[in-house]
């Protein structure tokens, strides 16, 4: 991308060689494109031939047929009587469920460990270094199998391990107390979300006005109003009740509360711990990339250390951190496909079962690739937008 001056350079040469270079360029392109097209056409004709010999229909018509594949751990309602298309959507939602929650948890854990590595406390920084080094140098699949074996080795539901009342860890997975959510509760949550967005807008307004006249304005009354009073009012007017259900042992399994299946839990732990090690390194190098003079200048102004870290160092570190962080988020999402190794039914696992049941290999793999390309593109676009938003505006 550096050489962009084709018009200046050829002046010294004679016309024939200029034309020669262009012609050579055209010949190269025609040859390469020709080879690529020929290879693809050859592979395609072989595939058509092989498929007709094996009597496999091409196309996506199979998506409308009944899947007959059981998927136990889902968010969307699903039964084996549903179509393959439905099974794929359920699988995709399962992928997103582990990827989104994994990204959030890995960011929190990774940032904490990255900061811990820079701690002045020797023991803390050493332990963080050992954590990072160990997790980074062992294959994720091995870690995943390891966590899964540990989950299976836990006691049964009747002898479940209970660290806090209402939380049960057994070979049936992790059971947590959970709020029952109905229509009224959803409205309250929507009010909370609206309040948060409104608070964000109000805060920006206040900062803009402070920039004009230099007087600082209080944010907390707005915060109280929008985030606490508004949802409370909605809750009161709808008469929503907030009952927490605890999981209870019934027969051989638990009922009520929130259940994380062992497969999901093992996959989530493996993805979060593995990715957090990489994120910790990114956060550490991001903080170290902020010049020391920034700390010195801020401290010389008499600002508190926590204020300096939050308002001066972290925002600058964030700019360095965003691009590598994006690729870690993409990695986590792609790595969630390892779910197939322990039987968590994400999109890869669903596609694999479909492929074995119907023989539609090309279509199933194309669907996996399409799904991941879409998700990757979505994450990239979002992070690029965020990166552009926080970038320094240079004059």
Partner 1 sequence: MSSAVDAPRNSRSFARSASGSGPGVRLLRWLRANLFASIPSTITTLLLALLLARMLFGFVKWGVLDAIWTVPGNDTSACRALRGTGACWAVIPEKYRFILFGTYPFDEQWRPALATLVFILLFYLSSRRSLWRRELLFIWAGALVLVGVLMWGGVLGLSFVSQDRWGGLPVTLILATFGLAFGFPLGIVVALGRRSKLPAIRSICILYVELVRGVPLISLLFMASVMFPLFMPDGVNIDKLLRAQIAIVLYAGAYLAEVIRGGLQAVPRGQHEAADALGLSYWRKHRLIILPQAIRHVIPPLVNTFIAFFKDTSLVLIIGIFDLLTTAKTAIIDPAWQSFSVEVYVFVALIYFAFCFAMSRYSRHLETRGQAVW
- The residue range among 63-71, 120-128, 161-169, 193-201 that interacts with partner 1, by the rule CB under 8 A, is 120-128
Binding part of the chain for partner 1, among 126-134, 178-186, 209-217, 218-226 by CB under 8 A, reads 126-134
Q: Is 296 in the site for partner 1 (CB under 8 A)?
A: yes
Say how far apart CA 234 and CA 191 lie, in whole Å.
7
Give the distance from CA 305 to its chain's centroid. 32
Site string for partner 1, 148-187 (x = CB under 8 A): -xx--x----------------------------------
- Should residue 50 be labelled a site residue for partner 1 when binding is judged by CB under 8 A? yes
Q: Which of 368, 300, 288 is nearest to 336 (CA)?
A: 368
Out of 52, 119, 210, 384, which residue is the one contacting partner 1 (CB under 8 A)?
Answer: 119
Number of C-beta neighbours around residue 264 at 10 A: 22
Token pair listed for 297: 């200048």
36 binds partner 1 (CB under 8 A): yes
- For CA atoms 375, 67, 79, 249, give the dihedral sign: negative
* Residues 72-111: x where in contact with partner 1 by CB under 8 A, - otherwise, as a string: ----------------------------------------
In angstroms, the CA 278 to CA 272 distance is 10
In contact, 348 and 92? CB cutoff 8 Å: no
Give the nearest distance from C-beta 230 to partner 1 in angstroms: 30
Q: Check residue 310 for interaction with partner 1 (CB under 8 A).
A: yes
Q: Does 361 bind partner 1 (CB under 8 A)?
A: yes
- Which of 184, 277, 202 is CA-nearest to residue 239? 184
Helix (H) or strand (E) holding 23: helix 15-53
Binding of residue 320 to partner 1 (CB under 8 A): no
Contact 92, 85 (CB under 8 A): no
What is the DSSP annotation of 139-164? -HHHHHHHHHHHHHTS--GGG-B-SS
9 scored as a contact of partner 1 (CB under 8 A): yes
CB of 3 to partner 1, least distance (A): 6
Sole binder of partner 1 in the list 235, 338, 353, 354 (CB under 8 A): 338
How many chain residues touch partner 1 (CB under 8 A)? 72
Angle between helices 262-289 and 84-117 (to 10 degrees): 40
Q: Which stretch binds partner 1 (CB under 8 A): 84-92, 169-177, 199-207, 355-363?
A: 355-363
- Residue 134 binding partner 1, by CB under 8 A: yes
Q: Is the Cβ of residue 172 or residue 284 nearer to partner 1 in the bound state?
A: 284
């Amino acid at each position: 991308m550096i050489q962009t001056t084709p018009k200046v350079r050829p002046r010294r040469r004679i016309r024939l060689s200029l034309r020669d270079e262009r012609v050579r360029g055209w010949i190269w392109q025609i040859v390469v494109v020709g080879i690529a097209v020929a290879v693809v056409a050859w592979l395609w004709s072989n595939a058509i031939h092989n498929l007709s010999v094996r009597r496999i229909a091409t196309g996506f018509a199979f998506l409308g047929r009944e899947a007959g594949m059981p998927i136990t751990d889902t968010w969307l309602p699903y039964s084996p009587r549903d179509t393959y298309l439905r099974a794929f959507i359920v699988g995709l939602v399962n992928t997103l469920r582990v990827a989104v929650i994994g990204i959030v948890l890995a960011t929190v854990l990774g940032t904490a460990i990255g900061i811990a590595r820079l701690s002045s406390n020797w023991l803390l920084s050493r332990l963080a270094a050992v954590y990072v080094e160990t997790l980074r140098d062992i294959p994720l699949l091995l870690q995943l199998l390891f966590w899964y074996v540990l989950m299976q080795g836990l006691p049964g539901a009747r002898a479940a391990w209970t660290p806090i009342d209402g939380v049960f860890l057994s070979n049936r997975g992790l059971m947590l107390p959970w709020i029952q959510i109905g229509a009224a509760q959803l409205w309250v949550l929507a009010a909370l979300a609206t309040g948060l967005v409104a608070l964000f807008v109000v805060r920006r307004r206040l900062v803009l006005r402070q920039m004009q006249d230099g007087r600082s304005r209080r944010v907390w009354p707005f915060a109280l109003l929008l985030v606490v009073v508004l949802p409370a009012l909605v809750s009161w007017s709808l008469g929503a009740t907030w009952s927490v259900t605890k999981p209870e042992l019934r027969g051989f399994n638990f009922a009520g509360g929130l259940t994380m299946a062992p497969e999901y839990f093992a996959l989530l732990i493996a993805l979060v711990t593995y990715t957090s090690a990489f994120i910790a390194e990114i956060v550490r190098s991001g903080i170290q990339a902020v010049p020391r003079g920034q700390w010195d200048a801020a401290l010389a102004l008499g600002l508190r250390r926590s204020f300096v870290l939050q308002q001066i160092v972290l925002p600058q570190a964030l700019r360095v951190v965003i691009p590598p962080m994006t690729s870690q988020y993409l990695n986590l999402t792609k790595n969630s496909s390892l779910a197939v190794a322990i039987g968590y039914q994400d999109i890869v696992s669903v596609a694999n079962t479909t492929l074995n049941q119907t023989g539609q290999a090309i279509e199933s793999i194309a669907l996996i690739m399409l799904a991941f390309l879409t998700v990757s593109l979505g994450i990239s676009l979002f992070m690029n937008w965020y990166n552009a938003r926080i970038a320094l505006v240079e004059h």
